[in-house]
Amino acid sequence: MFIDGEWVDARSGKTFDVTNPATGELLGSAPAGEPEDAVAAIDAAYASFPDWANTTAYERSRLLYSAWQLMTERSEMLAQLMTAEQGKPLKAARAEVNYAADFLIWFAEEAKRVNGEWLPSQRPDQRFLSVKAPVGVVAAITPWNYPISMLTRKMGPALAAGCTLVLKPAESTPLCAKATFEVFVDAGIPEGVINLVTAVEPAPIGDVFTADPRVAKLTFTGSTAVGRVLASKSAANLQRISVELGGHAPFIVFPDADPVHAAKGAAALKFLNAGQACISPNRLYVPASLRSTFEETLCSRVEKIETGNGAVEGVGVGPLVSDTAVAKVERQVEDARDKGAGVPVGGTRLTQGDYAAGHFFAPTVLTDVTEDMTIYREETFGPVAPVISYDDPDQVIELANDTNYGLAAYVYTRDIGVAMRAFERLRFGIIGVNDVNPTSASVPFGGMGDSGLGREGGHEGINEYLETKTGGFAI
Catalytically active residues, by annotation: 244, 278
Residue type, 200: V
What does DSSP assign to residue 450?
A: T
DSSP assigned state of 359 = -
Cα–Cα distance for residue pair 169/205, rounded to 1 Å: 11
**Rounded Cα–Cα distance for residues 283 and 388 (Å):** 7
Which conformational region is residue 472 in: left (phi greater than 0), alpha (psi within -120 to 50 degrees), or beta? Answer: beta
CB 154, CB 456: distance < 8 Å: yes
Burial-class residue 18 by CB neighbours within 10 Å (0-12, 13-18, 19+): buried
AA letter at 418: V
d(C-alpha 137, C-alpha 240), whole Å: 11
What are the distances in angstroms from CA 420 to CA 248, 290, 311, 407, 433? Answer: 21, 21, 41, 18, 9
By three-state DSSP, how is residue 10 classified? coil
List, in sequence order, every beta strand (DSSP E) within 145-248.
164-168, 194-196, 215-221, 240-244
Q: Residue 114: name the closest of 46, 182, 60 by CA.
A: 60
Q: Which of 441, 450, 355 is nearest to 157 (CA)?
A: 441
Query: What are the backbone angles phi and psi of residue 238, rounded to the nearest 5°?
Result: 50, 40
Q: Kindly give the pairing relationship between strand 15-19 and strand 26-31.
A: antiparallel
Please give the Cα distance from 69 to 58 (Å, whole number): 16
Question: In the chain, what is the greatest distance between 2 CA atoms, to the nearest angstrom?
Answer: 82
Q: Which residues neighbour 395 within 8 Å (Cβ) at sequence distance 6 or greater?
A: none
Are 461 and 219 in contact by the 8 Å Cβ rule? The answer is: no
Helix (H), strand (E) at residue 209: helix 202-211
Amino acid identity, position 114:
V
Are the C-beta atoms of residues 370 and 390 closer than 8 Å to each other? Answer: no
Distance in angstroms between the alpha carbons of the first and the last residue of the chain: 52
